[in-house]
A and B are shown apart, each in its own frame.
Chain A
Amino acid sequence: MNTIEVRDLRRIYKTTVGVVRRKIKEVVAVDGITFDVNRGELFGLLGPNGAGKTTMIKMLTTLLIPTDGTANILGYDVVHQANAIRSRIGFIFGGERGLYWRLSGIDNLRYFASLYHVDPEVTMKRIPQLLELVGLSDRGDEKVEGYSRGMKQRLHIARTLLHDPEILFLDEPTMGLDPVGGREIRQVIRDLQSEKKTILLTTHYMFEADALCERVAVIDQGRIVALDTPEALKQGVSDLSVIEIEVFGVPEEVMNQIRNLPFVDTVSVEDLDQKQALHVHSAKGSEAIPPLLSALESVRVGKVTVREPTLEDAYVRLVGGKV
């Protein structure tokens, strides 16, 4: 038995559109997904906005009924044995909501401890430990409304550890945090990993997935397009090198021209402050630079570098330029 077993899971949302002539619109958010997560593994779910990651996590945390397929957590069915699962898992959905803003951090934790039936003596001992773990020891008695976004997200992590769950579902735990805040949360996740918790993580930060996850599944439009270790996924694009070109405003026809060059595999544009960075994947390496520069003749060009592919490059190739 695997810790998490997902078989052909599907979820369709029905929404009504239009005010006068109401029509039912169907969105297939998760479209037949199958995977397993082993005990103690840190597994990443990656994919562009709207790929179905949050929908997946909601179904696994018993908060959403699947349209089709099955999912078992520790051998319990997410639909029919929801309560057995709930006391054994913890989850957070990224962002600041989901806490009582007018209560102190400690009072929030106390209430959730009783919702999870944690013994009061255990609660008394665990709250200071958890506040320590997430770096909120000296702010725990303050009202949550005065917390920064990062503090709220860390309090969420403490909240979800109160009942010492075996499995954690972390949906974008570092969403919207500054680099330091993100790093602090990643350290907490590493600590949890060393305590042998099974963790399912979603993130839009590829370096984060690369640094933390043992295996990742890339999903796009509700389907798995790749499932492997980060190393293996990078291996898949090792034939390519990545040429990064700083440009200042590229017209769309120039982009199309570059896309159509025979040696160019994919191109993605990253918006930087005043400029953009083109990430061109090509098997030709530095030899590709002269023809690229001549294609960019009409555009102001800055620094040009060639580097080894990263997980992000593998990802971009899989989901076709969307980030």
Chain B
Amino acid sequence: MSKVIANIRLFFQGAVLSYIALFAWLRPSTYIATKVVGPLAQILFFTLMGKFGTSGESADFYIIGNAIQITALSGIYGVTFSLAGDRWNGTLPYLFGTPANRMTMFLGRAVIHIIDGMFGVLIGFTWGVTLLGLDLSNTDPWALILVIAVTTFSTSGLGLMLGSLSLITRNVMFINNTAYFLLLVLSGSNIAIDRLPSALQAISNVLPLTRGIASARAIIDGATFRDVRPAMLEEIGIGIIYIMFGYVLFRWIEVLAKRRGTLEAM
């Protein structure tokens, strides 16, 4: 069997099984509820808070920002958990004892969460349109879907990097919560970027999601994909950079653990 096909199989099998392993404790009904009600809660909460709060942004600003931000739930929590799961299960020595391609093993953990994240965002938009009167009549749906896909990819890239980190720290939840909170504050989902101090704007600029949210707002406002293409290319680049950092960290952890004898201790 050719190496390529073997790797493709490993990629998807790892994807599906690591996803099942993560959610196996949920019944399908609970799972759907989490996936459908979760996005609604996030959008309602921030939209109402934003609308009745002090800031002068429109409701659409919050609806779109939070609908896209939903992708970080799968991209950050989902992806890190599927890597941290190997630490909890004690499977790392067994994984690192196989001849499997490490890149395939690593990337496979993110795939289903990307699909899952896109699904969450679409549900978020559905709530926005049906309950909060978001107007999509001026929107090119394919351009919006493309923006969602790219943003989900880049956010999952950050998730992969945090996932590698989660293999060497006991504080997975702390890392995840910090990352999610930073995105909530700095990605422009709830606070317009130009209101942030410039030091923080610099951070916004290297985070995933920031360009995705801005592009989604532009598309819904009637822009074409061509208008947001540069921002989307940057967003892909940001995702790739995080994945590369994450992968280098993942390999480094393996090498170091073999030198120091800490494979089980992780």
- Report which A residues bind B (CB closer than 8 A): 11, 13-14, 55, 58, 61-65, 83, 86-87, 91, 93, 97-103, 107, 110-112, 114-117, 119-120, 143, 159
Could you list 18 further interchain pairs (A-B, Cβ under 8 angstroms) beyond the known A114-B10, A115-B105? A11-B261, A58-B93, A58-B263, A63-B263, A93-B93, A97-B89, A100-B89, A100-B91, A102-B25, A103-B17, A103-B21, A111-B14, A115-B14, A115-B95, A115-B98, A116-B99, A119-B1, A159-B94
Residue B195 CB within 8 A of the other chain: no
The residue in chain A whose Cβ has the minimal distance to the Cβ of B91 is A98
The residue that A117 contacts in the complex, of B6, B22, B24, with Cβ under 8 A, is: B6
B99 adjacent to A98 (CB under 8 Å): no
B99 adjacent to A102 (CB under 8 Å): no
Output the least CB separation between A188 and chain B (Å).
Answer: 19
Docked complex Cα distance between A87 and B3 (Å): 13
| Cβ-closest 3 pairs across A and B | A97-B90, A102-B24, A115-B98
Docked complex Cα distance between A99 and B93 (Å): 11
Contact flag A65-B258 (CB < 8 Å), given A86-B98, A103-B20, A117-B99 = yes
Docked complex Cα distance between A11 and B258 (Å): 12
Residues from chain A with a CB closer than 8 A to the CB of B25 are 102
Q: Which of B25, B93, B96 has the most A CB atoms < 10 Å from its CB?
A: B93
Residue B226 CB within 8 A of the other chain: no
- Report which B residues bind A (CB closer than 8 A): 1, 3, 6, 9-10, 13-14, 17, 20-22, 24-25, 85, 89-91, 93-100, 105, 258-261, 263
A116 adjacent to B100 (CB under 8 Å): yes
B90 adjacent to A62 (CB under 8 Å): no
The residue in chain A whose Cβ has the minimal distance to the Cβ of B3 is A117
The residue that B90 contacts in the complex, of A63, A98, A115, with Cβ under 8 A, is: A98
The residue in chain B whose Cβ has the minimal distance to the Cβ of A27 is B261
B20 adjacent to A112 (CB under 8 Å): no
B13 adjacent to A112 (CB under 8 Å): no
Residues from chain A with a CB closer than 8 A to the CB of B89 are 97-101
Docked complex Cα distance between A63 and B97 (Å): 6
Output the least CB separation between B6 and chain A (Å).
Answer: 4
Docked complex Cα distance between A111 and B89 (Å): 14
Output the least CB separation between A60 and chain B (Å).
Answer: 11
Q: Which of B17, B90, B96, B99 has the most A CB atoms < 10 Å from its CB?
A: B99
The residue that A114 contacts in the complex, of B3, B13, B24, with Cβ under 8 A, is: B13
Output the least CB separation between A285 and chain B (Å).
Answer: 47
Docked complex Cα distance between A120 and B9 (Å): 9
Contact flag A63-B93 (CB < 8 Å), given A102-B24, A114-B6 = yes
Residues from chain A with a CB closer than 8 A to the CB of B93 are 58, 63, 93, 98
The residue that B94 contacts in the complex, of A11, A87, A112, with Cβ under 8 A, is: A112
Docked complex Cα distance between A239 and B95 (Å): 49
Q: Could you write out 10 A-B pairs with CB less than 8 Å apart?
A: A64-B258, A86-B97, A99-B91, A100-B17, A103-B17, A110-B13, A114-B9, A114-B100, A116-B100, A120-B9
Docked complex Cα distance between A99 and B100 (Å): 17
Residues from chain A with a CB closer than 8 A to the CB of B263 are 58, 63-64
The residue in chain B whose Cβ has the minimal distance to the Cβ of A61 is B97
Docked complex Cα distance between A116 and B91 (Å): 14
A103 adjacent to B9 (CB under 8 Å): no
Docked complex Cα distance between A99 and B105 (Å): 16
Docked complex Cα distance between A83 and B254 (Å): 14
B259 adjacent to A65 (CB under 8 Å): yes
Residues from chain A with a CB closer than 8 A to the CB of B17 are 100, 103, 107, 110-111
Docked complex Cα distance between A100 and B9 (Å): 19
Residues from chain B with a CB closer than 8 A to the CB of A120 are 9
Docked complex Cα distance between A114 and B104 (Å): 11
B13 adjacent to A86 (CB under 8 Å): no
Docked complex Cα distance between A174 and B94 (Å): 18
Residues from chain A with a CB closer than 8 A to the CB of B98 are 86, 112, 115-116
A98 adjacent to B94 (CB under 8 Å): yes
Docked complex Cα distance between A57 and B95 (Å): 16
Docked complex Cα distance between A157 and B91 (Å): 15
Residues from chain B with a CB closer than 8 A to the CB of A97 are 89-91
Docked complex Cα distance between A91 and B94 (Å): 8
Residues from chain B with a CB closer than 8 A to the CB of A119 are 1
Docked complex Cα distance between A143 and B85 (Å): 16
Q: Which of B21, B85, B260 has the most A CB atoms < 10 Å from its CB?
A: B21
A83 adjacent to B24 (CB under 8 Å): no
Residues from chain A with a CB closer than 8 A to the CB of B6 are 114, 117
Residues from chain B with a CB closer than 8 A to the CB of A115 are 10, 14, 95, 98, 100, 105
Output the least CB separation between A178 and chain B (Å).
Answer: 22
Output the least CB separation between A226 and chain B (Å).
Answer: 26
Output the least CB separation between A280 and chain B (Å).
Answer: 39
The residue that B10 contacts in the complex, of A91, A100, A117, with Cβ under 8 A, is: A117
B99 adjacent to A83 (CB under 8 Å): yes
Docked complex Cα distance between A86 and B24 (Å): 30
Output the least CB separation between B257 and chain A (Å).
Answer: 8
